[in-house]
């Protein structure tokens, strides 16, 4: 067999290496920031959830059809590493032109984000969910284009377990919890505990459990950038939740530590009667629950029903090389025509208020009444928090709250320690 010369092999290896590098660059979207091969301006969008790629791709394909001089490339960085990588890339000046942001204060304060109100104007801002606009407004400036909202928190119920306990779904909408007075919610949970391993998902769940209880007790998580959850109202809220676990009305805290899907899976397996959560779990429950289910209002507390309404927005890199192209992309994704793609198939609630009917209509067609996610927000809202160092503060709080739910630290002591830890972490 004829042998190839070593010099020829070296040349081939170099050529193959070059081809592989070019192919990898193209695949990862790392070609020239200015233009692609067709002379188009390339704008990069970073998100953390690959499930949203098809909806965004469909929306952006429509945008590119109307704007043939711009190409938008989507990069997915998984949530587990998203915040850390974002911090590094913003600091290093290598961040994408556009990126999902839910903890944005540090970047805004450092001058790394574009003023969205100035970029798109007041008419654009008036299209969006007021809660989302408030969430992304800091010091009077809007720092992100809202994309979708979770809606308020509600309760998914297993209709078969309710029937076994002799409970009508309509009863759920009249329930109240109160550590110092009539407590119809705990009474109902005790009835459900006779027919199910667990009645309810009291757990260290910041958005779906802790914030609604803190708010409906009359408390707040923050006042401006200052943490204020260590309060009599906080003791009432967290004391109530931990008592539900102690009474075996909810799964053991060892199984439901922050970030766990245990309670959601228990509900889908028919082991949990009531699952308090947001619209972000609706599609999965609709696809996987093997029993009849529905959605009800969450219980009212001493201060009524209070929920948070978290939103995801797109922030713009203030140092982008393509400000005009970025403006056009944001105008599209923040407008009715571009935003409604996120609502199709009932995926999520779009931030453009006029598009939210698309979401409602989809689920109405499936026989699902989603009104509790919207109705609860008319009764009261609690902000989900923010400010400099907020991500580090939440991490510090979380570890102490896990110990509190496990019963290793009394509630008053845990709240005091968590608040101190949050303040120290935010300032470091």
pLDDT tens per residue across span 144-191: 999 999 999 999 999 999 999 999 999 999 999 999 999 999 999 999
pLDDT of residue 334 exceeding 90: yes
Q: Residues 6 or more apart from 319 whose CB is under 8 A from it?
A: 93, 112
**Low-confidence winner among 3-7, 51-55, 99-103, 315-319 (lowest mean pLDDT):** 3-7
State which H helix or E strand residue 365 sits in: helix 356-365
Structure tokens at 229: 């959850």
| CATH class for the region spanning 39-150+310-366 | alpha beta
Instruction: Dump the DSSP string for 185-229.
Output: HHHHHHHHHTTSSBS---SS-IIIIIHHHHHHTT--SEETTEE--
Q: Residues 6 or more apart from 323 whose CB is under 8 A from it?
A: 114
- In angstroms, the first-to-last Cα distance of the chain is 68
- Residue 258 is predicted with a pLDDT of 74
Separation between Cα atoms, residue 197 and residue 22, nearest integer Å: 57
Structure tokens at 104: 């944005």
Q: Residues 6 or more apart from 247 whose CB is under 8 A from it?
A: none
pLDDT of residue 25 exceeding 90: no
CATH topology of domain 151-309+370-427: D-Maltodextrin-Binding Protein; domain 2 (3.40.190)
Residue ranges, CATH 3.40.190.10, the chain: 39-150+310-366, 151-309+370-427
**What is this structure's pTM?**
0.86
């Amino acid at each position: 067999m004829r042998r190839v010369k070593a010099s020829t092999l070296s040349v081939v290896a170099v050529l193959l290496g070059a081809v592989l590098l070019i192919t990898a660059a193209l695949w990862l979207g790392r070609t020239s920031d200015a233009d692609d091969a067709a002379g188009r301006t390339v704008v990069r969008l970073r998100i953390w959830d690959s499930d949203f790629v098809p909806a965004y791709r469909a929306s952006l394909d429509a945008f590119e059809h109307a704007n043939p001089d711009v190409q938008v490339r989507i990069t997915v960085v998984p949530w587990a590493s998203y915040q850390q990588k974002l911090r590094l890339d913003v600091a290093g000046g290598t961040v994408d032109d556009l990126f999902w942001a839910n903890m944005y204060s540090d970047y805004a304060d450092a001058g790394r984000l574009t003023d969205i109100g100035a970029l798109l104007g007041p008419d654009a801002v008036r299209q969006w969910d007021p809660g989302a606009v408030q969430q992304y407004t800091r010091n009077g400036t809007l720092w992100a284009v809202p994309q979708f909202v979770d809606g308020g928190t509600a309760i998914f119920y297993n209709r078969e377990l309710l029937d076994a306990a002799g409970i009508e779904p309509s009863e759920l909408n009249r329930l109240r919890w109160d550590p110092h007075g009539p407590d119809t919610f705990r009474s109902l949970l005790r009835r459900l505990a006779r027919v199910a391993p667990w009645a309810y998902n009291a757990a260290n769940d910041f958005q779906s459990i802790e914030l609604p209880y803190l708010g409906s007790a009359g408390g707040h998580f923050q006042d401006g950038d200052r943490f204020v959850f260590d309060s009599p109202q906080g003791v009432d809220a967290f004391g109530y939740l931990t008592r539900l676990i102690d009474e075996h009305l909810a799964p053991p805290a060892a199984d439901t530590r922050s970030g766990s899907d245990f309670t959601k899976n228990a509900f889908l397996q028919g082991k949990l009667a009531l699952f308090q959560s947001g619209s972000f779990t609706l599609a999965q429950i609709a696809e996987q629950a093997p029993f009849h289910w529905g959605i009800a209002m969450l219980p009212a507390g001493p201060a009524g029903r209070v929920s948070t309404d978290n939103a995801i927005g797109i922030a713009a890199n203030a140092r982008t090389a393509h400000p005009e192209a970025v403006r056009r992309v944001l105008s599209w994704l923040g407008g009715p025509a571009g935003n409604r793609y996120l609502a199709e198939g009932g995926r999520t609630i779009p931030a453009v208020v006029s598009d939210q009917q698309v979401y409602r209509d989809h689920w109405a067609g499936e026989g699902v009444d989603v009104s509790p996610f919207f109705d609860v927000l008319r009764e009261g809202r609690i902000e989900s928090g923010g400010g400099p160092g907020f991500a580090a503060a939440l991490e510090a709080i979380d570890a102490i709250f896990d110990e509190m739910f496990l019963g290793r630290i009394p509630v008053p002591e845990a709240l005091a320690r968590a608040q101190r830890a949050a303040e120290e972490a935010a300032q470091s």
